[in-house]
């Protein structure tokens, strides 16, 4: 029975990354030997200090509502960390803790955008941004990028995309799906353009700790930028706490206050137990994570470089590589023709039993995303299978 759903939800596309993950897990449950390179979560455990703090919170009955923006100890600690990492001077009142960075992003879009406002969105983009922009009834203005600029927008492209309706520029460095990291000089040049106009920047820095031999710089650190930046971060990636659902934003106090009011009527505080675990986690990044991810990135890149029909830039951050597979378009595997990256990914899943995400949902139809947040053994097997598949294309 249906009495009609809202236009709002009718137009939402399900997350393609989560759908592929669900399909992959269903195949695995049937006993099929699929290698999952589609997931966006680290294969490391949550730090023990955080799990212990979570258990202690339960035992101490720290299980009630907390302040809507999160407990003050956690917000103070986040402010101190943003100061340590970036020299940014926030206080607890400038911070809103939410149920995951996804939730923080949603709060930000809903609080900043009016119907018809434009959000400048560099592509390739993380799959949830366009949907959130649509939910806020704003209009995405996509700036396409490719390998020629390392998947980064230039100041000229930004300047051209700005109109009187521009309300937000979305930046995501390190990027999901490309792993691209903007340098200090590149951000300075973008900041110069931005400060000549009146709009906000939502800067999603959730992969900030996962950079390989480069520095992660926040756009908020440039002159005139802190007050117009909503900095987004969270605990899912660097602390392997995806299921705990804790993210946060930091920004202009009046905007944060409005976002807190919005959150007060939607979800209220993030889980009390998770907040205690997050507080304990903040000083304890697993030292083994970055070297291990760097090793895996290098391994995957080396293997890809020796394969036909694909090419891949070297990403400086996150745990993804984003190879180009346009050279496979028009070729066939066992009689099945590849027209686009969706076909490529579908054939790989069915015949090579590798699950990865086609670039279409990221606004990059020539590419596909490999997550290397899986074991070295899995990566070796997956690269063997991919290579064999590519060699069979005619
Ligand atoms: C770029 C980006 N932003 C935000 C998130 C959301 O993270 P969380 O688990 O904190 O909601 C993700 C997760 O995949 C992501 O890749």
Tell me how far the alpha carbon of residue 388 lies from the centroid of ligand 1, in angstroms.
33
pLDDT number for residue 155: 98
Collect all residues with Cβ–Cβ distance below 8 Å to 82 and sequence separation of at least 6: 88, 90, 231, 250
d(CA 200, CA 254): 13
Residue 24 pLDDT > 80: yes
Confidence at 335, pLDDT banded by 50, 70, 90 = very high
Task: Express each pLDDT in 341-362 by its tens digit.
Answer: 999 999 999 999 999 999 999 9
CA 29 to chain CA centroid, nearest Å: 27
Probe ligand 1: pick from 38, 176, 371, max atoms within 8 Å of CB? 176
54, part of any domain: no
Q: Are residues 223 and 302 in the same domain?
A: no
Burial of residue 316 (number of CB atoms within 10 Å: 0-12, 13-18, 19+)? buried
Q: What is the SS3 assignment for 145?
A: coil
pLDDT number for residue 20: 78
Indicate the number of domains in the chain: 2
Residue with tokens 């206050």: 257
Confirm or reject: Cβ of 124 under 6 Å from ligand 1. Answer: no
* Nearest by Cα to 96 from 227, 204, 256, 229: 256
Q: Are residues 178 and 139 in the same domain?
A: yes
Tell me how far the alpha carbon of residue 387 lies from the centroid of ligand 1, in angstroms.
30
Tell me how far the alpha carbon of residue 272 lies from the centroid of ligand 1, in angstroms.
20
Residue 323 pLDDT > 80: yes
Domain harbouring 240, CATH code? 3.40.640.10
Probe ligand 1: pick from 234, 275, 317, 369, max atoms within 8 Å of CB? 234
53, part of any domain: no
pLDDT number for residue 25: 86
CA distances for 317 relative to 179, 183, 213, 309, angstroms: 5, 12, 9, 24
Residue 17 pLDDT > 80: no
Domain harbouring 338, CATH code? 3.90.1150.10
> Where is the domain boundary, 281, 305, 338?
281
- Residues 254-269, mean pLDDT to the nearest whole number: 98
**Half-sphere exposure for 370 (CA within 13 Å, toward CB):** 32
> Where is the domain boundary, 229, 246, 281?
281
344, part of any domain: yes
Q: What is the SS3 assignment for 19?
A: helix
17, part of any domain: yes
Question: 8 or 314, which is more confident?
Answer: 314
- Residues 152-181, mean pLDDT to the nearest whole number: 98
Q: Are residues 88 and 237 in the same domain?
A: yes
pLDDT number for residue 299: 98
Residue 14 pLDDT > 80: no
Ligand 1 atom nearest residue 246's Cα: 10
pLDDT number for residue 142: 98
pLDDT number for residue 172: 98
Q: Are residues 162 and 272 in the same domain?
A: yes
51, part of any domain: no
Share the mean pLDDT of the chain: 96
Query: Among residues of the chain, what percentage have pLDDT more than 70?
Result: 99
Tell me how far the alpha carbon of residue 73 lies from the centroid of ligand 1, in angstroms.
23
Tell me how far the alpha carbon of residue 102 lies from the centroid of ligand 1, in angstroms.
6
Ligand 1 atom nearest residue 318's Cα: 16
Length of the chain equals 394
Q: Are residues 193 and 327 in the same domain?
A: no
- Other Cβ atoms less than 10 A from the Cβ of 348: the count is 25
8 Å CB contact between 216 and 320:
no
Confidence at 285, pLDDT banded by 50, 70, 90 = confident
1, part of any domain: no
pLDDT number for residue 40: 85
Task: Express each pLDDT in 34-48 by its tens digit.
Answer: 999 998 889 999 999
Q: What are phi and psi of 204, to 5 degrees?
A: -90, 105
pLDDT number for residue 145: 98
Tell me how far the alpha carbon of residue 41 lies from the centroid of ligand 1, in angstroms.
9
8 Å CB contact between 260 and 251:
no
Q: Are residues 122 and 255 in the same domain?
A: yes
8 Å CB contact between 273 and 122:
no
Residue 368 pLDDT > 80: yes
Confirm or reject: Cβ of 278 under 6 Å from ligand 1. Answer: no
Probe ligand 1: pick from 203, 236, 320, max atoms within 8 Å of CB? 236
> Where is the domain boundary, 265, 281, 297?
281
Probe ligand 1: pick from 16, 106, 128, 242, max atoms within 8 Å of CB? 128
Q: Are residues 302 and 203 in the same domain?
A: no
Q: Where are the beta strands (DSSP E) in 225-339?
A: 229-234, 247-250, 320-321, 332-333, 336-337
Task: Express each pLDDT in 96-122 by its tens digit.
Answer: 999 999 999 999 999 999 999 999 999
Q: Are residues 104 and 242 in the same domain?
A: yes
Largest CA distance in the chain: 64
8 Å CB contact between 317 and 210:
yes
pLDDT number for residue 2: 80
8 Å CB contact between 391 and 308:
yes
384, part of any domain: yes
pLDDT number for residue 306: 98
- Residues 184-198, mean pLDDT to the nearest whole number: 98
d(CA 151, CA 324): 12
8 Å CB contact between 278 and 241:
yes
Structural domain range at position 302: 7-45+287-391
Q: Are residues 15 and 149 in the same domain?
A: no
Collect all residues with Cβ–Cβ distance below 8 Å to 21 and sequence separation of at least 6: 36, 38, 39, 355
Q: Are residues 120 and 206 in the same domain?
A: yes
d(CA 120, CA 141): 5
Q: Are residues 160 and 276 in the same domain?
A: yes
pLDDT number for residue 284: 87
Query: Among residues of the chain, what percentage have pLDDT more than 90?
Result: 91
Tell me how far the alpha carbon of residue 389 lies from the centroid of ligand 1, in angstroms.
31
Confidence at 13, pLDDT banded by 50, 70, 90 = confident
pLDDT number for residue 263: 98
Q: Are residues 12 and 120 in the same domain?
A: no
**Which ranges of the chain would DSSP assign to H, the alpha helix?**
7-10, 16-29, 48-59, 72-86, 101-112, 128-135, 155-161, 184-194, 253-264, 272-281, 289-305, 341-347, 376-391
56, part of any domain: no
């Amino acid at each position: 029975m249906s009495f009609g759903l809202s236009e709002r939800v009718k137009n939402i596309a399900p997350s393609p990354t989560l759908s592929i993950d669900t399909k992959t897990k269903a195949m695995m449950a049937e006993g099929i030997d699929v290698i999952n390179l589609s997931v966006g979560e680290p294969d490391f455990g949550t730090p023990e200090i955080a799990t212990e703090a979570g258990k202690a919170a339960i035992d101490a009955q720290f299980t009630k509502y907390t302040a809507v923006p999160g407990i003050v100890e956690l917000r103070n600690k986040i402010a101190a960390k943003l100061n340590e990492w970036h020299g940014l001077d926030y206080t607890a009142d400038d911070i809103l803790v939410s149920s995951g960075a996804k939730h923080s992003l949603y709060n930000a879009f809903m609080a900043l955008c009016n119907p018809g406002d434009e959000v400048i969105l560099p592509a390739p983009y993380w799959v949830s941004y366009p949907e959130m922009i649509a939910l806020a009834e704003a209009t995405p203005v996509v700036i396409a990028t490719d390998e020629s600029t390392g998947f980064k927008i230039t100041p000229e492209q930004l300047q051209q995309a700005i109109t009187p309706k521009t309300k937000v520029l979305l930046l995501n460095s390190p990027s999901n799906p490309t792993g691209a990291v903007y340098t200090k000089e590149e951000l300075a040049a973008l900041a110069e353009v931005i400060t000549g106009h009146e709009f906000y920047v939502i800067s999603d820095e959730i992969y900030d700790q996962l950079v390989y031999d480069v520095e992660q710089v926040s756009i908020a650190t440039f002159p005139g930028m802190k007050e117009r930046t909503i900095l987004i971060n969270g605990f899912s990636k660097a602390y392997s706490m995806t299921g705990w659902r804790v993210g946060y934003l930091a920004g202009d106090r009046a905007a944060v206050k409005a976002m807190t009011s919005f959150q007060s009527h939607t979800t209220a505080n993030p889980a009390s137990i998770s907040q205690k675990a997050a507080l304990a986690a903040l000083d304890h990044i697993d030292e083994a994570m970055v070297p291990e991810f760097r090793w895996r990135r290098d391994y995957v890149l080396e293997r890809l470089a020796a394969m036909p029909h694909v090419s891949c830039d070297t990403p400086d951050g996150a745990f993804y590589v984003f190879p180009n597979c346009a050279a496979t378009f028009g070729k066939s595997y066992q009689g099945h023709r590849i027209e686009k990256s969706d076909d490529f990914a579908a054939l790989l899943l069915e015949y090579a039993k590798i699950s990865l995400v086609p670039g279409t949902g990221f606004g990059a139809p020539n590419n596909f995303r490999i997550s290397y947040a899986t074991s070295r053994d899995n990566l070796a097997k997956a690269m063997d299978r991919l290579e064999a598949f590519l060699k069979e294309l005619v």
